[in-house]
A and B are shown apart, each in its own frame.
Chain A
Amino acid sequence: MLDRLVARAAQLPAYGELRWHANHSSRIMMRKGVLLANGRSRDSGVSARLYRNGAFGFAAAPADDEASLSAVIATAKDNAEFAGGHAASGALSTAAGSGSYDYRSTRAPLSAEQRVDIVRRLDEAIRARYPGLVNVDISLSSHASEKILANSDGAATYSFVPRAALVVSMSVTANDGIVELYDILGGFGEIEDQSFDEATLAPWLEDLHENLRRKAEGGQCEAGDHDVVLDSALAGILAHEAIGHTCEADLVLAGSVAGDHLGELVASEKITLGDYGGRGPDGKSSFAIHVDDEGTPCRDVAIIENGVLKNFLHNKRTAQMLGAEPAGNARAFSFQDEPLVRMRNTCIAKGNDKLSDMIGAIERGYYLKRSTNGQADATSEFMFGVNCGYEIRDGKLGRAIRDTTISGVAFDMLKSVTHVGDDFHWSAGGGWCGKKQVIAVGMGGPSIKCRVTLGGRG
């Protein structure tokens, strides 16, 4: 297939990419012992994208034969003409990535019975060990993105990037209603590559249940501005939502405030934040990328260096418009999707401070342990949900708190950072980011002490 795409890409009438792309996924989901999902899915097809006078034409079809490939190229050409670009836009970057990056598991695949058995045994064990639970949800899922890409500048690459996650959610009845908590285990690789054995799961479940028990006994946050310690498990979503999105060049072109601050001090000098190719700076992220979906080889991007805003994230078009070099941030979710400016492995670099010192430095505030969903904005105002945390009173952890949301203006909040931890954590199970398309991302960082706004009725 790669040879076919390379040959056809060389004959394209303008700059363009041809991509064969398959998403493979599976999901087993059990609620209170009832199997609600038990299956797999696969979607695949070919796409063509052609560039003409500052605009793109794109077409895709769920097939990979020569006739379908010819048809999508012809339709993409028609669409590019229909787009009617008129900009004297010049040439796009011609850096051409290559190579085969195959991360499929070398272990024997688990059978359908073995996969269902992981979930069934776990459900039985949880309900036996913690009899007071109102509900138990267990989800075992996998996703792999397989791509073959060639472009008219000579890029030619293959990749297979898998990851898998086990999610357990427990609910109990508190004096004011149902309280729930979930946690995620897993990350890079296929289900066969993960450690879902008893020795790994037992302490993990014990920790989840203990946090749930304390959360049920806890109370609402006090709404307002507070000193907080963000656990390293939250640092990834902070890097992603607060800074990463604001520094995507398509958002900068749309008017993101980051565009007004390039080269300026936007954070404490303790903050260094980057977006990385491969599997991140330590090679342990839940996501891998070496060549992006425009065929650009991936380079690391320093977004903030010692507090100074240094770079934005680009595709070929935004790089051309802003006079930068793309570093491999153009990514598409499925064969039907065009590449967009996306993050890859985004993280804050670890520092030298101890978590215990950060907690000890707060007289009245919160220690926030786990996040849920998040959102960014052009103003750099960010938010993310927190489903596990504790009060800090006089430098010590107090009662647990119920679900809350934290927010802040990133370029203000990052200046309030006084401590950056010597720990580091990639988000378990990997993250998903929504921006026209969903896409897999890696995100990580250390514990951080800073000041944010919390929602709550306390």
Chain B
Amino acid sequence: MSAPTDDFLDQILARAKAAGATAAQALSSRTRYFEIEFDHRSVDLVRSTENETTMITVFRDGKRGGATLNGRRPEEVEAAIAAAATAAEAGVADPANDIAAAPSLPPGDHGPSEPDRAAMRAQVDEFLASLPSRHPLLRLRDSLYTFTDHETEFANSNGLRQRERRGGHGFRAMFMAKDGALTTSFNAAGGRSFTPFASLYDAAGVGRLMAECERSLERRPVTGKFVGDVIVTPHCLTGLLPSIAGALSGPALLAGSSPFKDKRGERIASPLFSLDNAPRSADFVDGSDFDEFGVPTRDLPIIEDGVLKDFLIGYFFSRKLGLPQTAGVRNSRVRPGETSLADMIAGVKRGILFSRFSGGAPNDNLDFSGIAKNSFYIEDGEVRHASSETMVSGNFQQLLQDIHAVSKEVVNFGDCVYPFIAASGVTISSK
């Protein structure tokens, strides 16, 4: 497949104008993907795919319509331009609808462009050969070692042009332990990296979770119901933090449903908690140099020492809400603290090491309830046993305020990086 060219997007913009657009933009993404899939016994699939997706947005007198296609079949490109123009004509006019004016960046080039397939295969074989001795009770399924080369190009009718390429490796393991009739919950973890992982066990804390999984065969519920502490692991935060980030986003502000809508400049979290949006960070293989309107991204503190510094507002919502654009792409980084995980555990009177949240989607008020999966009961500063059928309930607004320790240790997932966070005031219950 040929790489995206300025000609392709320019042709789309010209045809969109000819179809009645007062302004137009196009975002093209070309992806080459390679995957080795395996379980605990052997490789069961090798998959390679190519795709090229182009998102066309047509603006017509303040109205907006879009169409997305893949490939470059001429009749489908024409159909997509016509559909976007028709949708724009049918749309609802809004002064916030427009293309961006921003500086065009030099093309970005991040990470390798080709995988070393033989080296990847050797790493998988080494991992599978060592697994029976390192973790004899573990069973894997749908575990993936991948390489993705992703090239993105943007153009709009203001002359804005952006282009970047990102290549990187990914590893994801899904696993459980089984010993006779004893079975643990599934757990899954993985991350992405520009360079191949030195060891697949080191990818995003997978090795630690595998060891914890084998220690979870003997599980039992916590006793009764109590209000206690949680030490939220980095892996658990990957599931929880999007709800908090969503409440700080432009769509939530437009809805008027965000509990933080009037809180800029105020303390919404413990002084120990700082959250950055860092799409330009060299730490993130899945970062981005520009957003879907072609606007260059930048790294910004969102919550600093517990104080809400800014919302996460993209181009459209910036215009709609009359607020400065602060985001467009999200890559969260919670800054590490000064406490070790061991000291955090030692400080818990009664609570859980909260490793995975399996629950209903938190509501607008950020109430949450769900099962604490792959988690451990802590009492008097010691991990006592793996938990089963244990529910946690609380509210994220309150949980942010109740943070009393943040760990030195962090896990980089390739699109975000999180430490362990200790907080109090969560209702922990079993049947």
Q: Nearest chain B CB to A385's CB is how many angstroms away?
A: 2
* B114-130 residues at the A interface, CB under 8 angstroms: 117, 121
* B165-209 residues at the A interface, CB under 8 angstroms: 176, 178, 181, 183-186
- Chain A residues closer than 8 Å to B43, beta-carbon distance: 55, 83-85
Segment with Cβ contacts to B, from A190-198, A254-262, A442-450:
A254-262
A285 to B87, CA, bound (A): 31
Q: Is the CB–CB distance between B185 and A120 below 8 Å? A: no
Q: Which residue of A lies closest to B259 (CB)?
A: A177
Q: Which among B1, B42, B88, B391 is the interface contact of A54 at CB below 8 angstroms? A: B42
Q: Nearest chain B CB to A177's CB is how many angstroms away?
A: 4
Q: Which among A39, A180, A251 is the interface contact of B363 at CB below 8 angstroms? A: A180
- Chain B residues closer than 8 Å to A230, beta-carbon distance: none
- Chain A residues closer than 8 Å to B281, beta-carbon distance: none
Q: Is the CB–CB distance between A35 and B393 below 8 Å? A: no
Does B223 lie at the interface of the complex (its beta carbon under 8 Å from any beta carbon of A)?
no
- Chain B residues closer than 8 Å to A250, beta-carbon distance: 141-142
Does B389 lie at the interface of the complex (its beta carbon under 8 Å from any beta carbon of A)?
yes
Does A107 lie at the interface of the complex (its beta carbon under 8 Å from any beta carbon of B)?
no
Q: Which among A34, A260, A404 is the interface contact of B92 at CB below 8 angstroms? A: A34
Question: A361-402, CB under 8 A of B: which get 1 and which 0?
Answer: 000000000001101011101011111000000000000001
Q: Is the CB–CB distance between A379 and B185 below 8 Å? A: yes
Q: Which residue of A lies closest to B140 (CB)?
A: A254
Q: Is the CB–CB distance between A407 and B429 below 8 Å? A: no
Q: Is the CB–CB distance between B361 and A373 below 8 Å? A: yes
- Chain A residues closer than 8 Å to B251, beta-carbon distance: 31, 36
A453 to B42, CA, bound (A): 38
- Chain B residues closer than 8 Å to A41, beta-carbon distance: 67-69
Does A13 lie at the interface of the complex (its beta carbon under 8 Å from any beta carbon of B)?
no
Does B388 lie at the interface of the complex (its beta carbon under 8 Å from any beta carbon of A)?
yes
Q: Is the CB–CB distance between B45 and A63 below 8 Å? A: no
Given contacts A32-B255, A112-B90, contact A223 B46 (CB under 8 A): no
Given contacts A31-B255, A55-B43, contact A456 B369 (CB under 8 A): yes
A260 to B179, CA, bound (A): 12
Does B52 lie at the interface of the complex (its beta carbon under 8 Å from any beta carbon of A)?
yes
Q: Which among A30, A57, A178, A405 is the interface contact of B391 at CB below 8 angstroms? A: A405
A57 to B49, CA, bound (A): 11
Q: Is the CB–CB distance between B388 and A177 below 8 Å? A: no
A63 to B76, CA, bound (A): 11
A38 to B1, CA, bound (A): 30
- Chain A residues closer than 8 Å to B87, beta-carbon distance: 38-40, 112, 116
Q: Nearest chain B CB to A190's CB is how many angstroms away?
A: 16
A38 to B59, CA, bound (A): 11
For B39, B57, B176, B255, the residue with the greatest tally of chain A CB atoms inside 10 Å of its CB is B255
Does B385 lie at the interface of the complex (its beta carbon under 8 Å from any beta carbon of A)?
no
Q: Which residue of A lies closest to B370 (CB)?
A: A405
Q: Is the CB–CB distance between B364 and A171 below 8 Å? A: yes
Q: Which residue of A lies closest to B250 (CB)?
A: A36
Q: Is the CB–CB distance between A378 and B367 below 8 Å? A: no
Q: Is the CB–CB distance between A177 and B142 below 8 Å? A: no
- Chain A residues closer than 8 Å to B52, beta-carbon distance: 62
Q: Which residue of B lies closest to A112 (CB)?
A: B90
* B360-386 residues at the A interface, CB under 8 angstroms: 360-361, 363-365, 367, 369-371, 373
Q: Nearest chain B CB to A179's CB is how many angstroms away?
A: 7
Does A349 lie at the interface of the complex (its beta carbon under 8 Å from any beta carbon of B)?
no
A48 to B332, CA, bound (A): 38
- Chain B residues closer than 8 Å to A255, beta-carbon distance: 139, 176, 178, 183
Q: Is the CB–CB distance between A407 and B255 below 8 Å? A: no
Q: Nearest chain B CB to A240's CB is how many angstroms away?
A: 15
Q: Nearest chain A CB to B54's CB is how many angstroms away?
A: 10
Does A87 lie at the interface of the complex (its beta carbon under 8 Å from any beta carbon of B)?
yes
Does A299 lie at the interface of the complex (its beta carbon under 8 Å from any beta carbon of B)?
no
Q: Which among B33, B363, B430 is the interface contact of A403 at CB below 8 angstroms? A: B363
Does B340 lie at the interface of the complex (its beta carbon under 8 Å from any beta carbon of A)?
no
Q: Is the CB–CB distance between A171 and B359 below 8 Å? A: no
* A266-284 residues at the B interface, CB under 8 angstroms: none
- Chain B residues closer than 8 Å to A234, beta-carbon distance: none
Does B313 lie at the interface of the complex (its beta carbon under 8 Å from any beta carbon of A)?
no
* B40-83 residues at the A interface, CB under 8 angstroms: 42-53, 57, 64-71, 73, 76, 80, 83
A134 to B392, CA, bound (A): 29
Q: How many residues of B contact A (CB 8 A)?
A: 82
Q: Which among B53, B83, B121, B186 is the interface contact of A39 at CB below 8 angstroms? A: B83
Segment with Cβ contacts to B, from A74-82, A90-98, A306-314, A351-359:
A74-82
A324 to B103, CA, bound (A): 61
Q: Nearest chain A CB to B397's CB is how many angstroms away?
A: 8
Q: Which residue of A lies closest to B45 (CB)?
A: A56
For B43, B67, B76, B92, the residue with the greatest tally of chain A CB atoms inside 10 Å of its CB is B92
Q: Is the CB–CB distance between B91 and A32 below 8 Å? A: no
Q: How many residues of A contact B (CB 8 A)?
A: 91
A116 to B94, CA, bound (A): 15
A87 to B76, CA, bound (A): 44
Does A66 lie at the interface of the complex (its beta carbon under 8 Å from any beta carbon of B)?
no
Question: A336-351, CB under 8 A of B: which get 1 and which 0?
Answer: 1010000000000000
Q: Which residue of B lies closest to A176 (CB)?
A: B365
Q: Is the CB–CB distance between A62 and B371 below 8 Å? A: no
A108 to B66, CA, bound (A): 22
A82 to B360, CA, bound (A): 41
For A34, A87, A256, the residue with the greatest tally of chain B CB atoms inside 10 Å of its CB is A34
Does B282 lie at the interface of the complex (its beta carbon under 8 Å from any beta carbon of A)?
no
Q: Nearest chain A CB to B144's CB is how many angstroms away?
A: 8
Does A58 lie at the interface of the complex (its beta carbon under 8 Å from any beta carbon of B)?
yes
Does A18 lie at the interface of the complex (its beta carbon under 8 Å from any beta carbon of B)?
no
Q: Is the CB–CB distance between B257 and A457 below 8 Å? A: no
A111 to B90, CA, bound (A): 9
Q: Which residue of B lies closest to A455 (CB)?
A: B369
Does A137 lie at the interface of the complex (its beta carbon under 8 Å from any beta carbon of B)?
yes
Q: Which residue of A lies closest to B392 (CB)?
A: A455
- Chain A residues closer than 8 Å to B184, beta-carbon distance: 378-379
Does B256 lie at the interface of the complex (its beta carbon under 8 Å from any beta carbon of A)?
yes
Q: Is the CB–CB distance between B76 and A42 below 8 Å? A: yes
Does B152 lie at the interface of the complex (its beta carbon under 8 Å from any beta carbon of A)?
no
Q: Is the CB–CB distance between A43 and B391 below 8 Å? A: no
A78 to B277, CA, bound (A): 41
Q: Which among A39, A61, A386 is the interface contact of B50 at CB below 8 angstroms? A: A61
Q: Which among B45, B51, B364 is the interface contact of A180 at CB below 8 angstroms? A: B364
Q: Is the CB–CB distance between B359 and A405 below 8 Å? A: yes
Does A207 lie at the interface of the complex (its beta carbon under 8 Å from any beta carbon of B)?
no
A225 to B221, CA, bound (A): 12
Given contacts A180-B363, A378-B186, contact A34 B94 (CB under 8 A): yes
- What are 11 sample pairs from A and B whose C-beta atoms fall under 8 A apart? A34-B94, A42-B70, A61-B51, A83-B45, A115-B90, A177-B364, A377-B186, A381-B389, A385-B370, A403-B363, A453-B391
Going nearest first, the 3 A-B pairs with the smallest beta carbon separation are A385-B360, A455-B369, A39-B66
Interface residues of B (CB under 8 A from A): 1, 33, 36, 39, 42-53, 57, 64-71, 73, 76, 80, 83-84, 86-92, 94, 117, 121, 139-142, 176, 178, 181, 183-186, 225, 251, 254-257, 259, 320, 358-361, 363-365, 367, 369-371, 373, 388-389, 391-395, 427, 429-431
Apart from A35-B94, A38-B64, A41-B67: 12 A-B pairs, beta carbons within 8 A: A32-B255, A38-B87, A39-B57, A42-B69, A44-B71, A82-B46, A171-B256, A178-B364, A223-B427, A378-B183, A385-B359, A455-B370
